[in-house]
């Protein structure tokens, strides 16, 4: 090979490397910024964090209730739209909210008759839902101001939220130390990890209560979304949505989402469970071993092409179709949230587990560390 040839080749290699280096430098990195979001009645200030994954996804998250107030996701044409329900300002969340985008605790979902016993002692909770206790009681984690620490690296931008719930808070025993981390990754995921410790035996069920509409804001109801639930069984409920204790096969019932089905296809069927839930408002038993991150759900919105996959380490997932939305809430940008304007996929322990010794335990004891993870991954193939 001539000297000139190898020189030319070396030159070409050098320019390719330089081009790649420039591209790498130009590649937008995940970022996080922070601004005031308004004041709580006691004068303390809530913050709003904007997470940007550098690849077209953006989330805003406030440390009031750990609420994801917006989540912008590209459609198949690369056009971003906000796919979660909520309010434009803190005032909306303070006035009234059906848990839009919030972190729910100490016990997400219901505890029957608002009581349970643990190690021979009985505990009474706020009966805030037809005699049962719902979503942590009157002032659950969705209504608390969390300490917040933003972070970012080359692959993700996030915010770490922390709070201490004192012994006896909302009737629950033990001083609970909780950390929830939200991260928006360069793999188009919203990752939520939960960690907790206690100084007395207690029960715990932490979840995220996002209402999704993958078609974007003001898109109408979610009945056209196609849903897959990786679950062979669900927990049937009584008329107040407390599980009977049975793990029932979904086969031959409107609860069968083992292959994708439009949410609206069977929601109107004359079925006792659907009547109790006024639609879908049930917990499915996620297939595969709890404690490992595995597929729980996949939702596809045909018009936009957006797909959301939910993976979790939790044993169950509550699928709720916004049955209580009735057009009285005016949300972001003046959008009226009508019946079934959003759906929730809340990864969780089964409802009323503290009163069902057969369900995977929700007990946390001193010396143990609770860990759980849920990943919402978006694409538009």
Smaller CB separation from ligand GLA, 49 or 99: 99
Q: How far apart are CA 151 and CA 129, in angstroms?
A: 37
To ligand GLA, the closest distance from the beta carbon of 130 in angstroms equals: 10
Token digits of residue 279? 């639609």
Active site (annotated) includes residue 209: yes
To ligand GLA, the closest distance from the beta carbon of 283 in angstroms equals: 8
Q: How far apart are CA 236 and CA 219, in angstroms?
A: 31
Catalytic residue among 170, 189, 314, 346: 346
Catalytic residue among 135, 152, 208, 209: 209
Smaller CB separation from ligand GLA, 153 or 326: 326
Smaller CB separation from ligand GLA, 32 or 241: 241
To ligand GLA, the closest distance from the beta carbon of 348 in angstroms equals: 10
To ligand GLA, the closest distance from the beta carbon of 185 in angstroms equals: 26
| Residue 257 phi, psi dihedral angles, 5° rounding | -115, 30
Active site (annotated) includes residue 371: no
CA 344 vs CA 222, 235, 310, 369: distances in Å: 11, 17, 11, 27
Nearest to 129, CA basis, from 158, 98, 153: 98
Q: What share of the chain is helix, strand, coil (3-state, %, to 5)?
A: 15, 40, 45
Decide: 22 and 15 in contact? Cβ < 8 Å: no
For tokens 């550098």, name the residue.
Answer: 54
Smaller CB separation from ligand GLA, 222 or 344: 344
Residue by residue, DSSP assigns 352-372 as TGGG-TTSPP-EE-TT--EEE
Token digits of residue 7? 């020189």
Binding interface with ligand GLA (CB under 6 A): 98-99, 109, 134, 241, 281, 318, 320, 324, 344, 346
Decide: 191 and 202 in contact? Cβ < 8 Å: no
To ligand GLA, the closest distance from the beta carbon of 127 in angstroms equals: 14
SS3 (DSSP) at 274: helix
Smaller CB separation from ligand GLA, 19 or 324: 324
- For the annotated catalytic residues, the residue numbers are 209, 346
């Amino acid at each position: 090979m001539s000297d000139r040839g190898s020189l030319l080749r070396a030159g070409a290699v050098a320019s390719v490397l330089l081009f790649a280096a420039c591209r790498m430098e130009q590649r937008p990195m995940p970022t996080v910024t922070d601004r005031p979001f308004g004041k709580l009645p006691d004068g303390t200030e809530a913050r709003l964090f904007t997470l940007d994954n550098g690849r077209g996804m953006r989330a805003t998250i406030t440390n009031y209730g750990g609420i994801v107030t917006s989540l912008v996701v590209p459609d198949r044409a690369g056009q971003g739209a906000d796919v979660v329900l909520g309010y434009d300002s803190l005032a909306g969340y303070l006035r009234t909210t059906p848990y839009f985008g919030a972190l729910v605790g100490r016990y997400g979902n219901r505890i029957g008759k608002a009581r349970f016993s643990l190690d021979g002692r009985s505990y009474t909770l706020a009966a805030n839902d037809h005699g049962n206790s719902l979503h942590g009681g009157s002032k659950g984690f969705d209504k608390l101001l969390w300490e917040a620490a933003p972070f970012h690296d080359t692959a993700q931008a996030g915010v770490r939220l922390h709070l201490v719930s004192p012994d006896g808070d909302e009737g629950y025993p033990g001083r609970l130390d909780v950390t929830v981390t939200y991260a928006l990754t360069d793999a188009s995921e919203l990752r939520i990890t939960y960690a907790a410790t206690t100084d007395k035996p207690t029960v715990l069920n932490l979840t995220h209560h996002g209402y999704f509409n993958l078609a974007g804001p003001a898109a109408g109801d979610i009945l056209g979304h196609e849903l897959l639930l990786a679950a062979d069984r669900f927990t049937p409920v009584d008329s107040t949505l407390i599980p009977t204790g049975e793990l029932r096969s979904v086969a031959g019932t409107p609860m069968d989402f083992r292959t994708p089905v439009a949410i609206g296809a069977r929601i109107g069927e004359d079925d006792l469970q659907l009547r109790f839930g006024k639609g879908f408002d049930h917990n499915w038993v996620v297939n595969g071993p709890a404690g490992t991150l595995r597929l729980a759900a996949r939702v596809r919105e045909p018009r936009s092409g957006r797909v959301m996959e939910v993976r979790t380490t939790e044993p169950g997932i509550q699928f709720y179709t916004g049955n209580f939305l009735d057009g009285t809430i005016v949300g972001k940008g003046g959008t009226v949230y009508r019946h079934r304007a959003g759906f929730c996929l809340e990864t969780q322990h089964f409802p009323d587990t503290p009163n069902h010794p057969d369900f995977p335990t929700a007990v946390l004891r001193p010396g143990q560390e609770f860990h759980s993870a849920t990943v919402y991954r978006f694409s538009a193939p």
